[in-house]
Amino acid sequence: MNIDLTGRTALVTGSTAGIGLATAQALAEAGATVVVNGRDEGRVKSTVDKLAESGATVRGVAADVGTEEGADALLVAEPDVDILVNNAGIFAPQDVFEIPDAEWLRFFEVNVLSGIRLARHHTPRMVERGWGRVIFVSSESAVQTPTEMVHYGMTKTAQLAVSRGMAQSVAGTGVTVNSVLPGPTLTPGVEEFIRSLNGADVPFEEAERQFMAKDRPTSLLRRLIRPREVANMITYVASDLASATTGGALRVDGGVATAIIP
């Protein structure tokens, strides 16, 4: 199976680390021109330089897509792309009864509205060209709400509704819209979170094992997913090979979600 994205331009939000960075790398390796995005200009430049060293065709735009102003700035800088990967997002544990209104709104704006704003602009333009891929990076938390992060789970469920609705709206156009549902993934943020649960003296391998056994006991993988494993699915969905896959919620969760289908 050969995935060739030569001639395609892909925008990956939140792509200076974790799943976003792995996705930018994978798309570039498949031949796409990649637009790196993040909030910090220095990190964006560093990521662009790193990818360019490997021969990738890449450019970057520093913009906070969790705000209307940041999303608008990104759209001005990159008005036309063939592949949109809505990856930017935040998470944090907090008791559901202690989450203030402002935090509910912040999570919704960063995790959901960021993707809506970009897809609202790019998807109709993809339809005009007769080809496009819109991918929302959701989570298994969309179908299995985490007790410690209900506000996060809420936003991930919302992404599934938005993705499915948009897919229905562009039926038969050559544009597909899908969600990808990673499970617990070894990103810098997750590593920091797990270390905070176990203390600095516990080796990370042991902390990972304890976390999976205690907090994600339904995992069939029995380890954290690696970002590249998620990026592989996203790259496939972004390709011509996935032309019959649309309106879907595609799991890369290591079997954490116990439902047979999302």
Identified catalytic residue from 152, 179, 194, 237: 152
In whole angstroms, give the CA distance from residue 248 to residue 233: 13
Q: For residue 20, give every residue at least 6 positions away whose Cβ sits within 8 Å of its Cβ, in sequence order, or none.
A: 12, 13, 14, 38, 85, 87, 88, 137
Strand 33-38 vs strand 9-12: parallel, antiparallel, or unpaired?
parallel
- DSSP structure class, residue 54: T
Catalytic residue list contains 236: no
Give all strands of the β-sheet with 83-86 in edge-to-edge order: 58-62, 33-38, 9-12, 83-86, 132-137, 175-182, 249-252
Closest CA to 47 of 68, 62, 65, 32: 62
Active site residues: 152
